[in-house]
Structure 1
Amino acid sequence: MIWYLAELLGLIQIDRNIKQYEYQTHPSYAGNFIRFGLDGIVGEYVSTVCQTFLFALALYFTLSCSSYYYFFKKNKELYLPKLNAKFYIFYDIKWSIINMFFETFLVSIIRVAQPRFSLMYYNISDYGYWYIPISIILHIIFDETLTYWVHRWLHTYGYLYIKLHRIHHFSKDITPFSGFAFHPLDAFAQAVPLFTSCFLFPIHMNLFLFFGLCTTSWAISIHDNVPALPLKFLLYSTHHTIHHEPGLGGMKNFGKFTSIWDRIMGTYEEPDRINFGWKQQQQQLNKLKKVNDFYESILPSDLNKIQKKQ
């Protein structure tokens, strides 16, 4: 909205008619999806709600069912032979559907507002290829920062945890179906950074959609308990397994994609003690040891190490 105010004050010039046309001709445009005979922005909003919900539903069940079948059924003896727990799969599916349905109405308001008020753009030529990596970095910084603090506040303040976030932590032993099992307001609060970065700086529509797909895929993958790519720069599945542990585990590893804020704020916990019987887990860690050691030397997981260096 800062940029929109600057536009109103005449500090920057954006042709909203062109932006609206580019938005309506983009393949992702939901305005012609399902309208129920409604015209104008109301019809566009209804179409966006329907498209967002149905796409989220299809993506959730495709990814979660595939991951669950692969890791928990077909290859359980390879990846998770020691994981014998009581899973609340139907509970997670129920809350995932509730979450997707109600959150969709909130998310769609932002989606409809994007072409009208944000700096979303649709042609790479508007800013050039050189700007793409800059926008990626800016988005990750914005998304990681807000998501970390929202997630941490949901655990810090008892009222927020009990009323909202406890739904997600009902499952102490997680499965891919847990990835979307949130109270809708909880999920929306953590999704806001993804949908609002374009109001602060220009971001290409395709890049925005890519980040949305990454967020969905990541939410499923960090609940499978298998550290397939144990790069310590990332917060991968066993980091999140710790986060779901009863007690102090829930006060660790709050980040979204990366471990940066957890390391800076002292809420990081190493995930290596979590191994449900995957024999190649240590081999994967050994392959990435130099990369992880280099990252550790730059941003130690223990704040005391930083103080000692100083």
Structure 2
Amino acid sequence: MEDQLQLFFDETNFFNSIVLGSLLPDKLWKPLPHFLQTWIRNYIGGTSVYFISGFLWCFYIYYWKRNIYVPKDAIPSRKAMLLQIIVAMKAMPWYCALPAVSEFLIESGWTRCFSRISDVGWPAYLVYLVVYLVFVEFGIYWMHRELHDIKPLYKYLHATHHIYNKENTLSPFAGLAFHPLDGILQAIPHVVALFMIPTHFMTHIVLLFIEAIWTANIHDCIHGKAWPVMGAGYHTIHHTTYRHNYGHYTIWMDWMFGTLRDPIADSPKKVM
């Protein structure tokens, strides 16, 4: 067990040295506590992913492919995107505390994580991954739904995100424009899963950062038509009706619990 925990610690140390070691002199970051190193590394990584994915996405759909994917009158203003960036940047330090905490829990041996896929074999790894993703999908669906159904949670937390509720205000930058506690609550199923499902450590960290890219995708107002993916077409309906399409990666939870609205079969006028 101690050898396994040391592998986790060595892995996070390696990631910290790559990110912090390439940006800062050793004397500035190596004396810092391990948890603080991890948080700074996640903050740098999370902020980089947010801006790189956001700017590339916006450049592609609003300028390079202008009027192909999004009509001119549906392109959000620079002011709207700047406001989304400001909200996301205020929350980013708190967002990045979550993977730092999950890494601490893993390094402390309190979860069911494993370091190497060879520890369980590829068939078991794939089964565990599917179970993990289903659990996360279920958890995010209900967390998101309760953030709407429980009025104080909506008023004081989730309403911050729903300022952006039309095509000409939604943009990839809105993907992380949440009250910080709201964003953490919606990501918490990723951490809860670690206590119940054997999970590959590196896969868990990668999936947390994929969240940032995925949330950019579902806020670009482009309906990808890739069943059963919960694409932006479905999520735009969520921003206009507030009562449908709470899912994250797929439409299955909404289908199971009766909250699904199809962007083709149901126009916004029909479902509002």
TM-score between the two structures when normalised by the length of structure 1: 0.76
Q: Match of 2:159, SS?
A: helix
The partner residue of 1:160 within 150, 153, 173 is 153
CA distance in 2, matches of 1:257, 1:223: 13
Query: What SS does the aligned partner of 1:272 have?
Result: coil
In the TM superposition, what is the alpha-carbon distance from 1:146 to its structure 2 partner? 0.8
Equivalent position of 1:239 in the other structure: 234
Q: Does 1:26 align with 2:20?
A: no
Aligned to 1:126: 119
- Larger of the two Rg values belongs to structure: 1
Pair 1:214–1:262, CA change in 2 (3 A): same
Please tell me whether the aligned partners of residues 238 and 246 of structure 2 are also in contact (alpha carbons under 8 angstroms).
Answer: yes
Which amino acid is 1:37 matched to?
Answer: P
Gaps of 5+ in 2: 21-27, 268-272
Corresponding residue of 2:88 = 96
Distance 1:90 1:31 in 2: 30
Residue type at the aligned position of 1:168: H
Which residue of structure 2 lines up, in the alignment, with residue 305 of structure 1?
none
Letter in 1 for 2:228: F
Counterpart secondary structure, 2:178: coil
Counterpart amino acid of residue 66 in structure 1: L
Uncovered stretches (5+) of structure 1, i.e. residues with no partner: 1-14, 276-310
CA distance in 2, matches of 1:54, 1:31: 11
Aligned length: 252
Contact 1:238–1:274, Cα closer than 8 Å, also in 2? no
Query: Among the aligned pairs, what percent are the same residue?
Result: 24
Measured against aligned partners, the alpha-carbon deviations of 1:22-73 in whole angstroms (never above 9, x if no partner) come to 11232675555474623xxxx0110111011110000000001100111012
Superimposed CA distance per residue, residues 112-141 of structure 1 (whole angstroms, 9 cap, x where no aligned partner): 111211111111221111112211111111
Match of residue 203, structure 1, among 192, 199, 206? 199
Give 2:131's aligned amino acid. Answer: L
Change (3 A) 1:148 1:203: same
Letter in 2 for 1:149: W
Q: CA RMSD in A?
A: 2.0
| Secondary structure at 1:168 match in 2 | helix
Any conservation in 1 of the 2:76–2:171 contact (CA below 8 Å)? no
Give the Å deviation of 1:178: 0.3
- Letter of the aligned partner of 2:231 in structure 1? Y
Amino acid at match of 1:145: F
Equivalent residue in structure 2 for 1:37, among 14, 31, 34: 31
Contact 1:30–1:44 (CA under 8 A) maintained in structure 2 = no
Specify the alignment match of 2:259 in structure 1. Answer: 267
Shift of 1:106: 4.2
Distance of aligned partners of 1:82 and 1:146 in 2 relative to their CA distance in 1, 3 Å threshold = same
Compute the TM-score of the two structures, normalised by the length of structure 2: 0.86
Taking the TM superposition and a 5 Å limit, the aligned residue runs for 1:1-310 are 15=1, 17-26=2-11, 29-30=14-15, 32=17, 33=20, 35=29, 37-38=31-32, 43-81=33-71, 83-84=73-74, 87=77, 88-116=80-108, 117-172=110-165, 173-228=169-224, 230-245=225-240, 249-272=241-264
1:136-181 CA-partner distances (Å, limit 9, x unpaired): 1111111011100000000111110110001111112300010000
